[in-house]
Amino acid sequence: MAKFESVEDYLNSLESPKHETLRAVIRAIETHFPEAEFKLAWNVPQVQIQGKYVFGMSAAKNHLSLAPWSEAVMAELAPRLAGYETTKGLIRIPVDWDVDQQLIADMISARMAELGI
């Protein structure tokens, strides 16, 4: 995988519909959390609030991953994630996902509460 210089570089490297879906995820985060900063870490887009990582996203061959970086958050939201493939720390979504803004906001809010921010 190429080394990216910015979140924009990362997004521009993706084919359609992956880049549109991740841009929609970013817009949802910006709407709910205007204080959010988007950084490139581990060569994928991450969201920081008050200097702490609260959410990450990445593209794979057949899905996109959204990660609140917390097993506790994933467990808390498990009933709402039942229709998705999940691991202890992330949710896999279709590349053409109809972005669930409230789910994303709730994942980030729960992670912020866990971190005390």
Mean pLDDT across the stretch 105-115?
98
pLDDT of residue 24: 98
- DSSP reduced 3-state for 77: coil
The one-character DSSP state at 80 is G
Question: What is the spatial distance between Cα 80 and Cα 95, in angstroms, rounded to a whole number?
Answer: 19
Sheet with 85-86: list strands edge to edge: 37-41, 44-49, 52-59, 64-67, 91-93, 85-86
Report the percentage of the chain scoring pLDDT > 70: 99
Can you give the residue ranges of every domain in the chain? Answer: 7-115
> pLDDT band at residue 2, thresholds of 50, 70 and 90?
confident
CATH number attached to the domain at 7-115: 3.90.1150.200
Residue-level pLDDT at 42? 94
Confidence bin at 52 (pLDDT 50/70/90): very high
Mean pLDDT of 51-73: 97
In this model, does residue 1 exceed pLDDT 70?
no
Record the pTM: 0.94
At 35-44, the pLDDT tens digits run 999 999 999 9
Residue 14 half-sphere exposure toward CB, CA atoms < 13 A: 24
The answer on pLDDT for 29 being more than 80 is: yes
CA distances for 78 relative to 32, 62, 83, angstroms: 21, 22, 10
